[in-house]
Structure 1
């Protein structure tokens, strides 16, 4: 459900100077002014901007005008705002939250990649991210390892071993010079104060100082560092994630509205099989919101089946028939179809809240069918033919069913047409309930009686066939 406030969250690499965070904040503010100018004269969109800075993170709260006085949706405003912000190359994460009850940092799509090798993980993640970036509807593709800081990797030259040096010894001397070596602890105000010895700050400020750095050999000589070792820079991993003992990484991305299902379908059909062949030791699975949705739909499917079987058992006991419960439950698919039609008309996607409304609609439909079938059975017990019973019951139940459906639909229309944020939260359930009930009204009055007549005809034909078989058998065994 769209909120009337946007939350922009930006995280820069650990160790970034605060001045860089201030630059990004200014970039966000300027984008806000440009967005206000974009909507000026056409729509009242942005009401105010609040930016909060920390060491390497930025959070901006963009207050929007009430939906009743602006035409643009929150997601539309977010798209313009994102375009105006432009690129932030050094950002570890960048997200704009537009929905109620959802973390602004929670992506639309996330995948968990696992393998036993760090090198394989890096290559597989890069391939996967490249595919996601190729979709026009996908943006802000990130991973938990692709924004790591740069680290120096040191490898010894052959002459270093001849001088009795090891990589551990060279690394120790580098640490002493640039990080420092603890030489003493002094008690002060009830705490220990560490005394560290290292190079002066001006000699530790840049990497170029390595050209003057010297390594002390075991025999006391000092040799230039770069004559003993080679230095290269590469992305360093700041954290190692593991899932079930295997190294893992999380890939996240944001998707434009209504583009998620198309992207997932294309990934499963056209990309992931070949990606798996290319990286046989790498495994993937949905995570985050997608994993929660999969779990929900799997659980709701199982629970719905249990509910239908339970209702069937109760109705079978009550009517002492297997056919009548099937007849009563036959309208359930039409309630689901009505909910889908309503969501299409209002441009909404099915959500967990939609299923609340579908469940309520199914309850109303089953109640209407149950009362109608029970009324038909009562009339039939009076000695009337099944067709006469159905016609009489249909006439009697027509007005209650139609009035119930129409009053339910009309009573829920104010919520369906209300543009406020509070109403948007309930809209999926309301749409499912109202359209499900309306579509099932003619099903109850037309389809259920027709199915009952068909069932009675089949039953009558079966009885006639049984009687004919009995007569034929009796004739064959009767002596002449």
Structure 2
């Protein structure tokens, strides 16, 4: 009933529907007084209508079973069921209608169990233009699951289908993201010949991710698999601007001998390249962001991650990276002076 209130959900199906017709039999007081039990009554009825094995014999290479029961034409008749003669312990026979109350009803066609627990599954169609699978799952977890778990303490709820596939994909993409970060660090550490500067350069990546999330929010998009693809691609792009600044700073530091002057000059030399690189990338992706065709909708989340992430990270890079480089050099200078002081003390 909860899913029916969501307009984007349709075609709801479950395996708990009472679709299989059945007849219910319950012993009357007279039936119990005559010594019958529910088990003995059901055994006799099953033997009558399903047949019971009375003999088996060999015919050539086949074994033939002989079953005794009502003919097939009688099995479909409720009247025959009502008039069925039930044998009592003393050998007398009494009509079923005198011994049991008969009523009709419906039951589940099958009972599904997973790990010995009874399982009920619910499936539906989802209009992805109105609501994504991730958003629907989050909505259910927030609004419905807590009340169900409070009402049924032993209840286990799991999400399958597209939601499960997305969760598995996100887990694998997290591993890929970590591997990408490690590879980027190695590729930066080798030419820079430093263990610390690659970390400073990669500090732009979290701000790029923030920019990607803000871009999704401003465009009213949900974070999905393609969004994560765009974020992974973004991580390799946003370090370029920081690398331009850091590499130019390293060159000027050796020439000028002054850390402050080297940072100022590096920013002036590279600000145009940094801005042009980021702005041209953003402008190049803008036509895709405004595309309304169905084919382009799959690429828009990745393009939003890349475009807005680069734009936001660039603005932060021009401020953050020079500051971090200055702090790094100050710490290096402090460590060197401390070492020199210790050496001087040891010599005295």
- The verdict on a shared fold, with TM-score over 0.5 as the criterion, is yes
For the Cα contact (< 8 Å) 2:18–2:109, is it kept in 1? Answer: no
Cα offsets for 1:88-110 (capped at 9, x unmatched): xxxxxxxxxxxxxxxxxxxxxxx
Alignment pair present for 1:168 and 2:38: no
Cα separation, 2, equivalents of 1:289 and 1:379: 53
Q: How does 1:79-94 map to 2 (within 5 A)?
A: none
Alignment equivalent of 2:100, drawn from 209, 214, 229: 229
Q: How does 1:312-351 map to 2 (within 5 A)?
A: 312-351=185-224
Give the direction of change, closer, same or farther, for the CA distance of 1:198–1:365 in structure 2 (3 Å limit): same
Deviation, 1:351, is: 0.4
Alignment pair present for 1:144 and 2:15: yes
Question: TM-score of the superposition, structure 1-length normalised?
Answer: 0.57
For the Cα contact (< 8 Å) 2:44–2:86, is it kept in 1? Answer: no
For the Cα contact (< 8 Å) 2:278–2:310, is it kept in 1? Answer: yes
Give the direction of change, closer, same or farther, for the CA distance of 1:279–1:446 in structure 2 (3 Å limit): closer
Structure number with the higher helix fraction is 2
Structure number with the higher strand fraction is 1
Cα separation, 2, equivalents of 1:133 and 1:345: 28
Q: How does 1:277-316 map to 2 (within 5 A)?
A: 278-280=152-154, 282-316=155-189
Deviation, 1:327, is: 0.8
Give the direction of change, closer, same or farther, for the CA distance of 1:136–1:419 in structure 2 (3 Å limit): closer
Report the equivalent of 1:244. 115
Cα separation, 2, equivalents of 1:454 and 1:137: 54
- Structure number with larger C-alpha Rg: 2
Cα separation, 1, equivalents of 2:293 and 2:187: 42
User: Which secondary structure state, in structure 1, belongs to the residue aligned with residue 22 of structure 2?
Assistant: strand
Deviation, 1:366, is: 1.6
Q: Tell me how large the CA RMSD over aligned residues is.
A: 3.4
Which consecutive unaligned segments of at least 5 residues does structure 1 have? 1-129, 177-195
How many residue pairs align between the two structures?
316
Cα separation, 2, equivalents of 1:161 and 1:169: 11
Alignment pair present for 1:358 and 2:234: no
Q: How does 1:55-74 map to 2 (within 5 A)?
A: none
Cα separation, 2, equivalents of 1:154 and 1:174: 15
Cα separation, 2, equivalents of 1:371 and 1:272: 55
Cα separation, 1, equivalents of 2:137 and 2:116: 30
Cα offsets for 1:67-119 (capped at 9, x unmatched): xxxxxxxxxxxxxxxxxxxxxxxxxxxxxxxxxxxxxxxxxxxxxxxxxxxxx
User: Which secondary structure state, in structure 2, belongs to the residue aligned with residue 285 of structure 1?
Assistant: coil
For the Cα contact (< 8 Å) 2:15–2:108, is it kept in 1? Answer: no
Cα separation, 1, equivalents of 2:117 and 2:307: 49
Report the equivalent of 1:215. 85
Alignment pair present for 1:154 and 2:25: yes
Report the equivalent of 1:425. 298
Cα separation, 2, equivalents of 1:376 and 1:353: 36
Alignment pair present for 1:380 and 2:259: no
Deviation, 1:437, is: 1.2
Which consecutive unaligned segments of at least 5 residues does structure 2 have? 52-69
Cα offsets for 1:188-217 (capped at 9, x unmatched): xxxxxxxx944479x84xx5x368533264
Deviation, 1:364, is: 1.1
User: Which secondary structure state, in structure 1, belongs to the residue aligned with residue 25 of structure 2?
Assistant: strand
Report the equivalent of 1:397. 270
